[in-house]
Amino acid sequence: MYFPREDSFFLSNYLKKYLKTKKINKNIKILDMGSGSGIQAESCKKLGFSNIFCSDIDEKTVKYLKTKKFKTIKSDLFSSSKFKNKKFDLIIFNPPYLPEDNKGYDKEKDTTGGNKGYETILKFLKQAKKHLTKNSNILILFSSLSNPEKIKKESKKIGYDFKLVAKKRIFFEQLYIYVFKIRN
């Protein structure tokens, strides 16, 4: 299970601000993809949102999230058949985003996003398109180590518009939070 770290807290703090300032309907369907500890789902729940789904690839994490009374799906991104025909108004994702290389980055599946760091993010964005309602948004966090320019370039090809909404320097990297929306 991925326990909250600086990136998790950064996304959670932005998420709370986003949900409060946008005056979002409390009945929207929210997906916390790659939930880990469930910090993002908890943030939504504390603000009165109740239609929250969690998803994670790790069986122990799924069991843990179910003990917290979250509707939870075990899945590698959207690969589970339980996602068939499910659409969400908001998807939150703190993906694994570090590149797998010899610079000493963690090589765990909860932090490594592929050989270059962006592969999991791009796979997610491709799959997420068919699980979004008409006016839905994706809140996603990634790092300067994830090759943000490649993510933005490829996401445009996939059909997304995006906006940088927050950034924060930690240790040896810059963290970014973007809002992605399907281009109309």
pLDDT in tens, 4-54: 788 999 999 999 999 998 778 889 999 999 999 999 999 999 999 999 999
Position 97 confidence tier, pLDDT thresholds 50, 70, 90: low
DSSP assignments along 4-38, one per residue: --HHHHHHHHHHHHHHHHTT--TT--EEEET-TT-
Mean pLDDT across 126-148: 93
Q: What is the mean pLDDT of the chain?
A: 88
Show the domains of the chain with their CATH numbers.
Answer: 6-182 (3.40.50.150)
Q: How many CA atoms lie within 13 A of 160 on its CB side?
A: 26
Burial of 117 (0-12, 13-18, 19+ CB in 10 A): buried
pLDDT in tens, 72-94: 999 999 999 999 999 999 999 99
State pTM to two decimals.
0.90
| Alpha carbons 159 and 30: distance in angstroms, whole number | 21
